Amino acid sequence: MLVSLLAAASVTAAVTVAEKLSPADVEITTPIYAVPGPVAAAHETWKYSFSWTGIPVGAASIESWTAVDGETADEHVEVAVKGRTNGFIDIFWRYRLEARGRIKTNPLGPSRFSAKEQENSKKKLTDIDFSDGRVVNSRRQKGEKVREYSFEAPNMHDILSTVFVALNLDHDIDNQYYFDTFTGTSRYLVTVSVEAREPLRVAGEDIDAFRLLIGTKALTDPDDDRKHRATHLWVSADKPRRLLKARSKTFIGSVSVQLVSVDRPAEEPPAGAETPAGAEPPAGAEPPAGAESPAPS
């Protein structure tokens, strides 16, 4: 989810894929990025509406907060994403998504990613774990079919950590950033290009925003390149950075996502989350371990 190949000396990849490859067989080197200043996330929920070729089709939310690992005391960022089609679209095509990600802040990088997707009656489960040194273990279950991978990838990201880092980098016009991004079964070279800085009307107010162009190059399956055309993201210029709008052209048409509100809940993060940084757990409470989000309804 981008004037020159400034990073050509630091980015090398097998970007011409003639046949399908295992994710473990991809050879790629991408830059290591450091986010300026302290890496933290205020406890907020961003709520979005999304449409397809101008027709409202559903809603989504992104919740993030800073938490502390109960065992290591290391600080990290938790991200929870939910999405669903609306009742009218459910008649023709029903989609549900719940995804969770954990992003380490020192050093900056992914720790864990999981997703539960349901498309009509078809369900897809994805789990990715990144150990120290980024030895990656992943499992994808789609119906009765299970695919598992285990390999070394020192600078690889999942989808949520790619977006988190890209949003929080210092942006100058014409900058380009490169990410090796793993979905659980496929790897992509994701290029983030800073195209412009412009005002954007969001939820009744004008917000200073950066427009980012997201380009993807399939590293494991050449057929994937035919499914995706181009994606633009608008992110707030001021920090904390927020995703304000997204527009993507795909082989099925144009999909748009628009921020409609930002909530700052006073209550604790959702069940299964760890204690927010600087907060005390409820009296007598044990920090939950390994809790999973409920299946999409």
Q: How confident is the model at residue 86 (pLDDT cuts 50, 70, 90)?
A: very high
Residue 291 lies in a domain: no
Question: For residue 4, is it within any domain?
Answer: no
Inter-residue contact 66 to 75 (CB < 8 Å): yes
Neighbour-count burial for 92-122, b at 16+ CB within 10 Å, e otherwise: eeebbbbbbbbbbbeebbbbbbbbbbbeeee
Confidence at residue 7, expressed as pLDDT on a 0 to 100 scale:
28
What secondary structure does DSSP assign to 175-227, as a single string?
-EEEEEEE-SS-EEEEEEEEEEEEEEEETTEEEEEEEEEEEEEESS-GGGGGT
Q: Is the pLDDT of residue 297 over 60?
A: no
Whether residue 145 is contained in a domain is answered as yes
Q: Tokens 């498309």 appear where?
A: 119
123 within a domain of the structure (yes/no): yes
Which pLDDT belongs to residue 65?
93
Domain that holds residue 190: 12-263
Distance CA 166, CA 77 (A): 15
Is residue 155 situated within a structural domain?
yes
Pairing of strands 156-157, 176-182: parallel
In a domain, 199, yes or no: yes
Mean pLDDT check: name the lowest of 21-25, 33-37, 58-62, 98-102: 33-37
Task: Please give the pLDDT value at position 267.
Answer: 56
Q: What span, in angstroms and rounded, lies between the C-alpha atoms of 115 and 248? A: 21
The total of structural domains in the chain comes to 1
Mean per-residue pLDDT of the chain: 82
- Can you give the pLDDT at residue 294? 41
Residues 6+ apart with CB under 8 A from 5: 11, 176
CA 191/CA 206 separation, integer angstroms: 27
Query: Kind and range of the H or E element at 89?
Result: helix 87-90
268 in any annotated domain: no
Q: Binning pLDDT at 50, 70 and 90, where does residue 107 land?
A: confident
Q: What is the pLDDT of residues 193-248, one digit of tens each?
A: 999 999 999 988 899 999 999 998 999 987 766 666 679 999 999 988 899 999 98
**Predicted local distance difference test score (pLDDT) of residue 229:** 65
Q: Measure the CA–CA gap between 167 and 212, rounded to whole angstroms.
A: 9
Whether the upstream peptide bond of residue 107 has omega within 30° of 0, thus cis, is yes
For residue 83 the two structure tokens come to 């999405």
Comparing 29 with 252, the larger pLDDT belongs to 29
Domain contains 294: no
Chain segment 117-165, per-residue pLDDT in tens: 999 999 999 999 998 777 899 999 999 999 999 999 989 999 999 999 9
